[in-house]
Structure 1
Amino acid sequence: MADDNGDRKKLVDLLEDVPIGMLTTFGPDGPRSVPMARQEVEPSAELWFITVKDAAHTRAIGAEPRVSLTFTARDSWVAVYGTAAVVDDRDKLAELWNTFAEAWLPGGPDDPNATLLRVDVEHGEYWDSPGGKVASLLSFAKTKLTGDTYDADHGSVDA
């Protein structure tokens, strides 16, 4: 992913702060969205998830690897799309394993149904309201008083 004037770093920083996102697949049954817990964000905006092999979203990725992900926090929003791959790498799975994953895979990283999803981000956009709730309220008030648009830091990044 290209670094468009620091936008890539900002996108990755925002992704690191939001661990849960909605993964949308586009398999044979059409679009389907599920919440996913992101395990790692690489500096190149490569995202890693722990999942199960026999899930509908994993099968959908096998048929159509294009995916979309959205993440939201109190004062920031990120939307990315790219290509997903099911990665059967036991060492990487053990490296990323955590107790949160055990809620879905109680057999641990050695569970034969455990696998990884890697999403290579091709395009991403973010909207950030630095300063949190107070800054957002001030910006909203400013729009009402001046007619200007809402102040949010927006960036767009392509691979």
Structure 2
Amino acid sequence: MTTHDDQTQTVTAIMRDTRIAVLTYVSQEGALVSTPMGTQDFEHPGTTWFLTERSSEKVRALEADPRVNVAYASDAGWVSLSGTAHVEQNRGKVEDLWDASAGAFMSGGPEDEDNIALRIDATTAEYWESPGKVAAAVQFVKGLVTDSQPDLGDNDTIRL
């Protein structure tokens, strides 16, 4: 049995291995909307930071209904964070998070009032840790040939 700290380390490793996350929120019309986001920072998987434009439909929707899911997928595995979004207008935080990737996707710079930080406070993380491509392929074939359940890695949900 793995400990909560081990599980948190697994979630952290998968998140760090993923360049682009997928943020899912509820639009003002009530539809689920998913959009790619570059994670700017996270101290712990329970708090992740993104940069976005205040004038976007996404921010208006998040202010009306802050419930979100943030998904990460890489060769290391998959993570699904459930939580709440918070719009942060702190110029210092925007400046701290700003990098070349932000400048490539957002107009203006960190001083532009439309550029804001988006903090996601996650309450749970579901994860699947991949055993690696080769091991997963072997297990998949083994499952087909022997009609047994393949071992495709660890999967669990943790509270953050």
TM-score, normalized by length of structure 1? 0.90
Deviation at 1:44, TM superposition (A): 4.9
Question: What is the rounded CA distance, in whole Å, between the counterparts of 2:18 and 2:55 in structure 1?
Answer: 26
Question: What is the rounded CA distance, in whole Å, between the counterparts of 2:5 and 2:93 in structure 1?
Answer: 31
Question: What is the rounded CA distance, in whole Å, between the counterparts of 1:36 and 1:59 in structure 2?
Answer: 16
Number of equivalences: 156
1:94 aligned to 2:95? yes
Question: What is the rounded CA distance, in whole Å, between the counterparts of 1:4 and 1:125 in structure 2?
Answer: 12
- Matched-pair contact (CA < 8 Å) for 1:9–1:43: no
Q: Which moved more, 1:40-49 or 1:80-89?
A: 40-49
AA aligned to 1:35 is: P
Deviation at 1:5, TM superposition (A): 5.3
SS in 2 for 1:122: strand
Number of the residue aligned with 1:156: 157
Number of the residue aligned with 2:67: 66
Residue deviations 1:36-85 (CA, integer Å, cap 9, x gap) = 11111222521100111011111111001110111211341111110010
- Matched-pair contact (CA < 8 Å) for 1:65–1:84: yes
How much identity, in percent, do the aligned residues show? 33
Q: Structure 1: any 5+ residue segments left out of the alignment?
A: none
Question: What is the rounded CA distance, in whole Å, between the counterparts of 2:150 and 2:17 in structure 1?
Answer: 23
Deviation at 1:104, TM superposition (A): 2.5
AA aligned to 1:43 is: H
Deviation at 1:145, TM superposition (A): 2.5
1:57 aligned to 2:86? no
Q: Structure 2: any 5+ residue segments left out of the alignment?
A: none
Number of the residue aligned with 2:23: 23
- Matched-pair contact (CA < 8 Å) for 2:68–2:85: yes
SS in 1 for 2:100: coil
SS in 2 for 1:15: helix
Question: What is the rounded CA distance, in whole Å, between the counterparts of 1:106 and 1:112 in structure 2?
Answer: 11
- Matched-pair contact (CA < 8 Å) for 1:4–1:157: yes
Distance 1:75 1:149, change over 3 A: farther
SS in 1 for 2:39: strand
